[in-house]
Structure 1
Amino acid sequence: MQRVLGSTELEYAFLFTLRKVNSISTEGFQPFFNNLPVDPYIKGNYRTRRLSRFIVSQDKLIKLPHGYLFQSKDYNPLVGDIKREFAELDDALIELDIFKNLVFAFSDSCKLHPEAEIGVHQIRTSCSPDNFGNPAPEGIHRDGTDFIGIFSVDRKNIQGGETHLYTAKKEKPVFNKILYPGELLLINDHQFFHFTTPIKPMTDGVGTRDVFVLTSPSLLSD
């Protein structure tokens, strides 16, 4: 765990923090990853996802209207400068206490200002013996937001999928770790580039890596 306290920090900002969210049992999330629509913006049909945006108002989680994800090519050379549209998170998922606890944990850990917009990406990356899955097809990158949270929900029949943080693209990573279910990695997007290595099956058959990625600001627009 690393933190910074100084006059140049983003108000309350940290560098990165890895924590286990003990209030969340990841088994409750797992059924909701089986019906994710294919991400149409990535070739290969190996990634599925949903996306919604929220604000935390006092102790309530409020879902905001549907929006479009937009990043410039400066941040996402693969699909930047495109208005991307994804299906919303399942209403039954949003009602779960464990989902609310996840968003609250992100908001509290980053000390977000009241009613800051939070984007929640629900993503499954799949792989098979013939096709590896690439959780970060854009390569080493920043998202173009302030804070990022990567929460691991499940890993089934896979090896790889190690998350790296870099202070510069051509430097060696300053952090590298496989995120296991229940672990939440919080990242200051202004300070680090991030990347997750491809996954491949440990045995014959399909392998999957399920995560929630949270960002604030949400990167969504109307």
Structure 2
Amino acid sequence: MITNKFKTESFYLELGQLTPDSVNHLAPSFDHLPANPYADGEFRLRRYSRFTFEQGKLNRLPSKDFVQDENINHFQGNVVRHYEEVDDHIVLDPAFIELFEHFQNMASVADGTTIEVHQLRIFADHKSAEVAPEGVHQDGFDRIGIYVMQRHNIEGGNINIHLDKNSPALMSHDFDKGEFVVLNDRKFFHSAQPITPTNDDQGYMDIFVLTANLLH
């Protein structure tokens, strides 16, 4: 018998795709992201919330500022950042819950685990923009899920998975239309290629990122 402990320790990564209906439900919400006052605000808009997911139901946790140690994030490390919450009407949508179902089932994330959610639009206007200004990095969690909801008028933006900080990408893919990867953030590093608009209009890439530390 494979124990849950073995499954948890042996998890590496898994790919998947949301249903088209889910993408259609969630994509319009990215058009209403607020301004970002921090260093990446020139090319990234963001909302941030925390939840637990138990027996198929979401519970929103109290608001909390977001901060990463500078040893993890060399771009905005030790900066205390406050973002507006993910909209209630999105949280109540079954399409949003689908994100958590995949994340929990694929990566052995137990009921009651705190799951942080970043809703991001990375945009490029007349020039290239960094999708991951941190470079090749880890986020400092046990598990992360990267869900690319849509790409509009851009080239580049491939999500790259690396074995270590200095290794070439072992996987690189231009995720789109609800494609996602759930991975063990302790075993792998990740990065992303810059995006460039394909014409004079603004291009953008819309992403949900879920992160969690496992309950021990």
The verdict on a shared fold, with TM-score over 0.5 as the criterion, is yes
Partner of 1:19: 16
> Shift of residue 10 of structure 1?
7.3
Q: Does 1:133 pair with 2:129?
A: yes
Distance in 2 between the 1:67 and 1:15 partners? 29
User: Among residues 73, 77, 90, which one is paired with 1:76 in the alignment?
Assistant: 73
Q: Does 1:41 pair with 2:35?
A: no
Partner of 2:162: 166
Counterparts of 1:8-157 in structure 2 under 5 Å? 11-22=8-19, 24-43=21-40, 45-129=42-126, 131-157=127-153
**CA RMSD in angstroms, aligned pairs only:** 2.1
Contact 1:67 1:85 (8 Å CA) reproduced: yes
> Shift of residue 11 of structure 1?
2.5
Which stretches in structure 2 are left out of the alignment for 5+ residues? none
Residues 138-161 of structure 1, C-alpha deviations (whole Å, 9 max, x = no match) = 111100000010011110000100
Distance in 2 between the 1:46 and 1:121 partners? 15
TM-score by length of 1: 0.89
Distance in 1 between the 2:51 and 2:23 partners? 21
Following TM superposition, the consecutive aligned residue runs of length 4 or more in structure 1 with deviations greater than 4 angstroms are none
* 99-108 vs 9-18, greater mean Cα deviation: 9-18
| 1:158 to 1:51, Cα distance in 2 relative to 1, 3 A | same
Contact 2:17 2:180 (8 Å CA) reproduced: yes
Partner of 2:212: 216
| 1:17 to 1:60, Cα distance in 2 relative to 1, 3 A | same
Contact 1:165 1:174 (8 Å CA) reproduced: yes
> Shift of residue 27 of structure 1?
1.4
Distance in 2 between the 1:31 and 1:43 partners? 22
| 1:51 to 1:44, Cα distance in 2 relative to 1, 3 A | closer
> Shift of residue 42 of structure 1?
2.1
Residues 113-145 of structure 1, C-alpha deviations (whole Å, 9 max, x = no match) = 22001011000001122x322111111110000
Distance in 1 between the 2:114 and 2:41 partners? 31
> Shift of residue 43 of structure 1?
4.4
Which structure's residues are more often helix, by fraction?
Answer: 2
> Shift of residue 13 of structure 1?
4.2
Partner of 1:197: 193
Contact 2:53 2:113 (8 Å CA) reproduced: yes
> Shift of residue 44 of structure 1?
5.5
| 1:67 to 1:44, Cα distance in 2 relative to 1, 3 A | closer
3-state SS, counterpart of residue 77 of structure 1: coil
3-state SS, counterpart of residue 62 of structure 2: coil
Count of residue correspondences: 213
Which stretches in structure 1 are left out of the alignment for 5+ residues? none
Contact 1:52 1:63 (8 Å CA) reproduced: yes
TM-score by length of 2: 0.91
Contact 1:38 1:45 (8 Å CA) reproduced: no
Letter in 1 for 2:16: R
3-state SS, counterpart of residue 104 of structure 1: helix
